[in-house]
């Protein structure tokens, strides 16, 4: 039975009898909310089939192979649709699978994990790899959620896109830009190449020659050593075929540079990055020398007209942005245990420690 599903919030109808579910927005809704939902999200979608045994009952979405399915939570009734993957997308999956198998690994399409299904799951190397070939529009939040589910299963993720400009979600996940090919036909090996997202990380002295401002946050260049990323070819230029060989062997790694952008770099460069960042964290910046902290005192006038300096007694920092959160905890740069929070420069730091430092020059309450 072909499904009709209503999105309660917008009133949109997802017609599972159409290849695009009735339009590009409907396809995006399916991709964004695929999987069982909990809490208040459980009622986002209801069955709109008049002759269903449980009309208006909440449903959730699944992708079984290439088939889209709407499933009732309570009764277990399922409504199937036609193909959920375009021919172009299927050819890209075939290319990735063939590349991984030619490199000596096992690869399956729509590989089943605990809470996700990457387009191609590659196993048999040092680390399993879940590759996503993303053609449809996704929000940054949706991509990050799907990426997190795959990584929770111990799988390295790798997202590929062929857009002229990086999509909004590309910075939130380990992504790579590729050349644009017409996927209406099958392409020979070596024709699908990497165009962006790869480069080198090298240690550089903190001078004006290498950095416009001190990456560690000092008011002036500190003349220490900091990691610097540059986009450039690696391994003599990469094809997707070579990616499928290098990533499972951890010869090419994804680094979230200072807690912000994901870059793919050779394994040695990733090790250099970790060592230099660790050295930065071991040497907290001097009090009163951080950029963006504002003045430690503000000026006002007393009744006689002379200038009086009133000390600032507290600071409240706004760390609500995603850039202040890391999935991996690390020691606070002020030595107050581990934290998942990051300061403005991508260093592990408790918010309360940073606020105390800005006021008193010390993270201690004493």
109: in domain? yes
pLDDT exceeds 50 at position 1: no
Half-sphere exposure of 164 (CA within 13 A, CB side): 0
Assess whether 212 and 323 both reside in one domain: no
Residue 202: pLDDT band (50, 70, 90) is very high
CA distance 156 to 174: 9
Residue 288: pLDDT band (50, 70, 90) is very low
| Count, residues in the chain | 366
Q: What is the 3-state secondary structure (H, E, C) of the chain?
A: CCCEEEECCCCCEEECCCCCCCCHHHHHHHHHCEECCCHHHHHCEEECCCCCCCCCCEEEEEEECCEEEEEECCCCCEEEEEECCCHHHHHHHHHHHHHHHHCCCEEEECCCCCCCCCCEEEECCCCCEEEEECCCCCCHHHHHHHHHHHHHCCCEEEEEECCCCCCHHHHHCCEEEECCCCCCCCCCCCCCEEEECEEEEEEEECCCCCCCCCCCCECCCCCCEEEEEEECCCCCCCEHHHHHHHHHHCCEEEEEECCCEEEEEEHHHHHHHHHHHHHHHHCCCCCCCECCCCCCEEEEECCCCCEEEEECCCCCCCCCCHHHEEEEEEECCCCCCEEEEECCCCCECCHHHHHHHHHHCCCCCC
Through-space distance between the first and last CA atoms of the chain, rounded to whole angstroms: 69
Assess whether 129 and 208 both reside in one domain: no
Residue 20: pLDDT band (50, 70, 90) is low
pLDDT exceeds 50 at position 299: no
* Domain with 203 in it: 199-232+258-282
Who wins on pLDDT, 88 or 60?
60
Residue 62: pLDDT band (50, 70, 90) is confident
223: in domain? yes
Assess whether 328 and 343 both reside in one domain: yes
pLDDT exceeds 70 at position 94: yes
pLDDT value at residue 25: 76
pLDDT exceeds 50 at position 184: yes
157: in domain? yes
Most confident listed range (142-146, 237-241, 337-341, 352-356) = 237-241
Give me the number of domains the chain comprises: 4
Question: Could you say which of 42, 60, 83 is where a domain stops?
Answer: 83
Least confident of 26-30, 143-147, 249-253, 289-293: 289-293
Strand partners, 46: 6, 58
Average pLDDT over residues 47-56: 76
Question: What's the whole-model pTM score?
Answer: 0.61
pLDDT value at residue 111: 83
Assess whether 158 and 175 both reside in one domain: yes
Assess whether 245 and 115 both reside in one domain: yes
Assess whether 79 and 97 both reside in one domain: no
292: in domain? no
Question: Could you say which of 48, 83, 118 is where a domain stops?
Answer: 83
pLDDT exceeds 60 at position 267: yes
State the CATH number of the domain containing residue 160. 3.40.1350
Assess whether 311 and 175 both reside in one domain: no
pLDDT exceeds 60 at position 63: yes
CA 261, 264, 267 angle in degrees (round to 5)? 125
32: in domain? yes
CA distance 22 to 18: 6
Strands 175-178 and 338-341: unpaired
Total Cβ atoms within 10 A of residue 173: 23
339: in domain? yes
Assess whether 25 and 74 both reside in one domain: yes
287: in domain? no
pLDDT exceeds 60 at position 295: no
Assess whether 301 and 351 both reside in one domain: yes
Assess whether 192 and 220 both reside in one domain: no
CA distance 169 to 5: 27
Assess whether 244 and 105 both reside in one domain: yes
Assess whether 112 and 216 both reside in one domain: no
Average pLDDT over residues 324-341: 80
324: in domain? yes
């Amino acid at each position: 039975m072909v499904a009709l599903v209503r999105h309660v919030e917008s009133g949109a109808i997802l017609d599972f009898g159409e290849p695009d579910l009735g339009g590009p927005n409907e396809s995006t809704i399916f991709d964004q909310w695929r999987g069982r939902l909990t809490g208040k999200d459980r009622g986002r979608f209801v069955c709109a089939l008049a002759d269903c045994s449980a009309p208006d009952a909440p449903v959730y979405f699944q992708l079984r192979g290439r088939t889209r399915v709407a499933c009732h939570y309570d009764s277990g009734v399922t409504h199937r649709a036609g193909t959920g993957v375009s021919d172009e997308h299927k050819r890209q999956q075939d290319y990735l699978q063939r590349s991984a198998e030619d490199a000596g690994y096992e690869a399956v399409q729509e590989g089943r994990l605990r809470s996700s299904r990457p387009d191609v799951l590659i196993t048999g190397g040092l680390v399993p790899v879940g590759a996503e070939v993303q053609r449809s529009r996704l929000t940054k939040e949706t991509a990050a959620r799907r990426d997190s589910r795959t990584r929770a299963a111990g799988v390295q993720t790798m997202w590929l896109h062929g857009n002229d400009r990086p999509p909004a979600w590309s910075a939130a996940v380990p992504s790579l830009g590729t050349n644009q090919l017409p996927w209406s036909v099958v392409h020979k090996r070596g024709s699908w190449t990497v165009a962006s997202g790869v480069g080198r990380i090298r240690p550089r002295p903190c001078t004006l020659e290498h950095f416009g401002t001190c990456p560690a946050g000092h008011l002036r260049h500190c003349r220490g050593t900091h990691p610097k990323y540059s986009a450039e070819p690696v391994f003599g230029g990469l094809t997707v075929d070579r990616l499928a060989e290098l990533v499972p062997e951890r010869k090419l790694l994804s680094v979230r540079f200072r807690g912000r952008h994901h870059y793919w770099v050779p394994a040695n460069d990733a090790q250099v990055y970790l060592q230099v960042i660790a050295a930065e964290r071991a040497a907290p910046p001097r009090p009163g020398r951080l950029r963006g902290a504002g003045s430690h005192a503000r000026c006002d006038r007393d009744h006689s007209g002379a200038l009086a300096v009133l000390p600032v007694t507290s600071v409240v920092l706004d760390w609500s942005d995603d850039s202040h959160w890391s999935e991996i905890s690390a020691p606070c740069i002020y030595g107050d245990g581990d934290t998942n929070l990051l300061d403005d420069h991508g260093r592990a730091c408790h918010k309360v420690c940073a606020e105390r430092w800005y006021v008193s020059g010390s993270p201690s309450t004493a």
